[in-house]
């Protein structure tokens, strides 16, 4: 920028009093705008390089410019299109696919009277069942509005204390079951211990009887 503005300043000093002052000034403005445009391009290129580093997790500065990467990707896509016909057909069908995904496409579809009639006939049984159920609901509507059911909110309020009592009783029942289980475990433990003790005593009595019998035989 300084190299460009140096000669321009000299020109302005030489022709400041001449009739070409406006022309020189416009020329300087053009040069300055060109330098600012080059600055903007360089700044944009630097920002694109930083974005490239962030996207591809590459901390080092990319060796090639982003424009070269875009051009290379474009060439790769063209090679894929030439090798694979499916990709080419997909690109051609892309506008049609976008139309299919649009919400307005469903609204554009209109069924003919014949299709509507066939759909109704196909669901004839379901429609008849729905009509029967609707008639039953209309009959039961009077049951809901019966005077005997008007006091249900009052009875519900009276049932709230009973519900609380039931909850408390369920808690007491759980505690009782836990206590009973502990008692049963203790009872089984005691019975097993007594059974082992009885077996031990039985063995001792048997040994004593055997010893007495053997002594009698020896005495005789």
More confident residue, 26 or 46: 46
Q: In which band, very low, low, confident or very high, does the pLDDT at 65 lie, cut at 50, 70 and 90?
A: low
Nearest to 216 by CA among 208, 41, 205, 17: 208
For residue 19, the Cα-to-chain-centroid distance in whole angstroms is 75
Residue 117: the pLDDT is 82
pLDDT tens-digit readout, 73-116: 888 877 776 766 777 777 778 787 777 777 776 666 666 777 77
Residue 25: the pLDDT is 55
Residue 33: the pLDDT is 57
SS3 state of residue 64: coil
**How many angstroms separate the CA atoms of 106 and 14, rounded?**
75
**How many angstroms separate the CA atoms of 120 and 112, rounded?**
13
Residue 30: the pLDDT is 57
Q: What is the rounded average pLDDT of the residues 161-182? A: 92
Q: What is the rounded average pLDDT of the residues 60-74? A: 68
Residue 178: the pLDDT is 93
pLDDT tens-digit readout, 35-49: 666 777 778 778 777
Nearest to 21 by CA among 30, 34, 31, 11: 11
Residues 6+ apart with CB under 8 A from 7: none
Residue 157, token pair as written in the block: 């309020």
Query: Is 45:66 a contact under the CB 8 Å cutoff?
Result: yes
Q: What is the rounded average pLDDT of the residues 153-179? A: 89
Q: Looking at the predicted structure, is the pLDDT value of residue 158 above 50?
A: yes
Tally the C-alpha atoms within 13 A of residue 191's C-alpha that lie toward its C-beta: 6
Residue 14: the pLDDT is 46
Residue 58, token pair as written in the block: 């590459």
């Amino acid at each position: 920028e300084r190299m460009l503005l140096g000669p321009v300043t000299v020109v302005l000093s030489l022709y400041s009093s001449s009739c070409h002052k406006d022309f020189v000034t416009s020329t300087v403005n053009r040069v300055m705008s060109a330098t600012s445009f080059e600055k903007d391009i360089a700044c944009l290129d630097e920002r694109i390089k930083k974005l490239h580093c962030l996207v591809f997790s590459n901390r080092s500065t990319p060796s090639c410019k982003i424009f070269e990467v875009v051009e290379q990707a474009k060439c790769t896509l063209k090679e894929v299109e030439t090798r694979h016909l499916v990709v080419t057909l997909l690109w051609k069908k892309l506008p049609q696919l976008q139309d299919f995904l649009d919400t307005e496409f469903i609204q554009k579809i209109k069924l003919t009277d014949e299709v509507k009639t066939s759909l109704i006939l196909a669901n004839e049984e379901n429609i008849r069942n729905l009509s029967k159920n609707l008639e039953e609901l209309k009959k039961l509507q009077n049951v809901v509005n019966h005077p005997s059911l008007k006091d249900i909110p009052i009875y519900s309020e009276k049932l709230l204390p009973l519900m609380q009592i039931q909850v408390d009783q369920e808690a007491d029942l759980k505690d009782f079951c836990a206590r009973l289980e502990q008692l049963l475990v203790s009872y089984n433990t005691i019975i097993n211990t007594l059974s082992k003790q009885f077996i031990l005593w039985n063995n001792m009595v048997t040994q004593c009887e055997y010893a007495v019998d053997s002594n009698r035989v020896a005495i005789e």
